A = this chain, B = another copy of it.
């Protein structure tokens, strides 16, 4: 199969680097362009990019010359790791010009007509695309992946919601520093410390979870009506967001019922066969002190969400803890899985 040419927008940042790492060895996609800010344009990726991930920059991209971030980029798919304000301006133009935009930015997540996707849980939201064409008049299309913390929450809640109906959720997150990008969080703020605030995060959790667990009716999104209240905290962890959840259901499940539906959860068959899909979207941990970010973030190559400490709640119904790799499943990996879904559904033909 001929690989599909893709560009990565905002390729020198932390999420951009994850895109590069994951796409450099991808079976469907081939990186044909990397874009950056004015400061980087014209330099090779090796010159422009301070590689902050583990190991070395992939050889195949070292000599690629950084292009300006605009609508003249080569490639069929545009993976966006752009900062929110730039994304807001540019992503619609890219979609209008014919690209399939797979964005990790928040810019278009709430835009009517643009699916917010986690393939295992709401692949059916792709039914919005025809409407997107009609409403927005784009030659291309755009899909978005959710906020990193929301990703872990929504994946954990989805099978439980299907089985028992989620009504109310209290969430308290302990989020990794990589979620703040690079240079991101100053070390003086987080070493031997907790920062009990992440701008905009609590709102995103509350809004996006209801989108992800919502339905599509006649091509329109009908959001779920789960009550969610969140505390978002930053802790001294490199990668992997941990979220403590207290949940009330329409039909109260026992602990073992909840474990069973989490264990049995699989995405649609076609999603399971996609190259970035983990064998188990959810990994249930039975130890009383798991999941933990350092030990569980790499489950399913960073694409599985680990859930544990499933136990009764003395006020609501159940308490549990989940861990999600915030820069793989919760960012670049999630957007790539979205692109694989687009490919599987024929949107990239």
Chain A residues in the interface with B (C-beta under 8 A): 14, 52-55, 168, 170, 172, 174, 177-178, 180, 182-197, 206, 227-229, 231, 233, 235-238, 242, 244, 246, 288-296, 298-299, 308-309, 313-316, 319, 321
In the complex, residue of chain B having the shortest beta-carbon distance to the beta carbon of A183: B186
> Contacts of A296 on B, CB cut-off 8 Å?
55
A196 & B291 in contact (Cβ 8 Å cutoff):
yes
Number of copies: 4
Query: Taking the nearest CB of chain B, how far is it from the CB of A112, in angstroms?
Result: 23
In the complex, residue of chain B having the shortest beta-carbon distance to the beta carbon of A52: B188
A236 & B233 in contact (Cβ 8 Å cutoff):
no
CA distance A292 to B191 in the complex (A): 11
> Contacts of A52 on B, CB cut-off 8 Å?
188-189, 295
Query: Taking the nearest CB of chain B, how far is it from the CB of A199, in angstroms?
Result: 8
> Contacts of A192 on B, CB cut-off 8 Å?
191-192, 236-238, 293-294
Q: Please provide the 10 A-B residue pairs with the shortest distance between their CB atoms, ordered closest to farther.
A: A172-B172, A183-B186, A231-B244, A197-B289, A193-B294, A236-B236, A187-B187, A229-B315, A196-B321, A192-B192
Query: Taking the nearest CB of chain B, how far is it from the CB of A183, in angstroms?
Result: 4
CA distance A206 to B313 in the complex (A): 12
Partner of A292, one of B196, B242, B321: B196
Partner of A187, one of B189, B197, B316: B189
Partner of A295, one of B187, B193, B233, B321: B193
In the complex, residue of chain B having the shortest beta-carbon distance to the beta carbon of A186: B183
B196 & A177 in contact (Cβ 8 Å cutoff):
no
> Contacts of A191 on B, CB cut-off 8 Å?
177, 187, 190-192, 236-238, 294
In the complex, residue of chain B having the shortest beta-carbon distance to the beta carbon of A296: B55
B316 & A229 in contact (Cβ 8 Å cutoff):
yes
CA distance A228 to B170 in the complex (A): 13
CA distance A294 to B314 in the complex (A): 32
> Contacts of A294 on B, CB cut-off 8 Å?
54, 191-193, 238
Query: Taking the nearest CB of chain B, how far is it from the CB of A152, in angstroms?
Result: 13
A244 & B238 in contact (Cβ 8 Å cutoff):
no
In the complex, residue of chain B having the shortest beta-carbon distance to the beta carbon of A239: B192
CA distance A170 to B194 in the complex (A): 19
Q: List 9 A-B contacts (CB under 8 A).
A: A170-B315, A177-B191, A178-B188, A187-B236, A193-B294, A228-B315, A229-B246, A231-B319, A236-B237
CA distance A296 to B237 in the complex (A): 18
CA distance A180 to B186 in the complex (A): 10
B193 & A293 in contact (Cβ 8 Å cutoff):
yes
Asked, given contacts A187-B190, A238-B188, A298-B55, whether A314 binds B195 with beta carbons under 8 Å apart, the answer is no
A194 & B174 in contact (Cβ 8 Å cutoff):
yes
> Could you list 16 further interchain pairs (A-B, Cβ under 8 angstroms) beyond the known A184-B187, A193-B292, A229-B313?
A52-B189, A53-B295, A54-B298, A55-B295, A177-B191, A185-B187, A186-B187, A192-B192, A193-B293, A193-B295, A196-B244, A197-B289, A227-B314, A229-B314, A229-B319, A235-B235
